[in-house]
């Protein structure tokens, strides 16, 4: 796909991926793992050998949104998962975010993140994510969507002989309670 012309309005389409999308999802996910191995906890070596049934189950067990521009093939994705453990059900995880290089700068990434936020609002109180510390564009995207850094995991990932730190970010979906005014004495 050629770089989109910013002067021409484009129609972004975001929807949940279904079983019929499994081939396109697998292709895009493996592209992401190959192109940016430092950005994902999973690896191409592990996921490329998984059978189609594994990919289908992954789409059923998680919420994965796909993104398209006009009539393009699948250009982007963002996953969301709620942990089933009682003490963690108030939080969801935004994971597997990826947009093909030719679609970057079109607003597709922001639309995917916003769709995850909208979906999560009825399910959890907070969305968490991790992002490799060297990915400045992703940091800007997540900050613009209201995520705040709350930690740093040093040497979180090892790819070959290189280590990568991950920034821990979260976005509250609950309105913050106002701080009470001190009473004059």
153 SS3 class = strand
Residues 6+ apart with CB under 8 A from 91: 82, 83, 124, 125, 126, 127, 128, 170
The first and second tokens of residue 130, run together, are 């991790």
The distance from CA 126 to its chain's CA centroid, rounded to whole angstroms, is 14
For residue 138, what pLDDT is reported? Answer: 97
Sign of CA dihedral 60, 108, 74, 104: negative
For residue 1, what pLDDT is reported? Answer: 47
User: C-alpha dihedral over 145, 148, 152, 158, to 10 degrees?
Assistant: -10
**What is the value of pTM for the model shown?**
0.87
For residue 183, what pLDDT is reported? Answer: 66
Residue with tokens 């909208």: 118
Q: Is residue 4, in this structure, part of any structural domain at all?
A: no
Number of domains in the chain: 1
Q: Which of 95, 42, 46, 103 is CA-nearest to residue 73? A: 103
For residue 184, what pLDDT is reported? Answer: 66
**CATH number for the domain that contains residue 164:** 3.40.630.30
Q: Is residue 182, in this structure, part of any structural domain at all?
A: no
Return per-residue pLDDT of the chain as tens, 185 residues: 455 555 556 799 999 999 999 999 999 999 999 999 999 999 999 999 999 999 999 999 899 999 999 999 999 999 999 988 999 999 999 999 999 999 999 999 999 999 999 999 999 999 999 999 999 999 999 999 999 999 999 999 999 999 999 999 999 997 656 666 666 66
Q: Is residue 7, in this structure, part of any structural domain at all?
A: no
Q: Which residue range forms the structural domain that includes residue 109?
A: 12-172
Give the H/E segment covering residue 45. Answer: helix 44-47
Q: Is residue 59, in this structure, part of any structural domain at all?
A: yes
Q: Is residue 144, in this structure, part of any structural domain at all?
A: yes
Q: Is residue 185, in this structure, part of any structural domain at all?
A: no
- DSSP letter string over 111-150? HHHHHHHHHHTTT-SEEEEEEETT-HHHHHHHHHTT-EEE
């Amino acid at each position: 796909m050629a770089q989109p012309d910013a002067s021409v309005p484009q129609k972004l389409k975001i929807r949940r991926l279904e079983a019929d999308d499994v081939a396109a999802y697998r292709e895009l996910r493996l592209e992401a793992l190959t192109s940016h191995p430092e950005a994902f906890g999973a690896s191409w070596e592990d996921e490329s050998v998984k059978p189609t049934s594994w990919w289908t189950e992954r789409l059923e067990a998680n919420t994965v949104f796909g993104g398209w521009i006009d009539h393009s093939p699948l250009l982007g994705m963002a996953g969301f998962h709620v942990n089933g453990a009682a003490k963690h059900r108030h939080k969801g995880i935004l994971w597997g975010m990826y947009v093909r290089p030719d679609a970057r700068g079109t607003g597709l990434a922001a639309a995917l993140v916003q769709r995850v936020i909208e979906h999560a609002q009825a399910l959890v109180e907070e969305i968490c994510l991790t992002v490799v510390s060297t990915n400045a564009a992703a940091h800007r995207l997540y900050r613009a969507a209201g995520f705040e850094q709350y930690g740093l995991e040093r040497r979180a990932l090892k790819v070959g002989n290189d280590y990568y730190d991950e920034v821990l970010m979260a976005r509250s979906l609950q309105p913050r309670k106002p701080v009470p005014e001190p009473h004059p004495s």
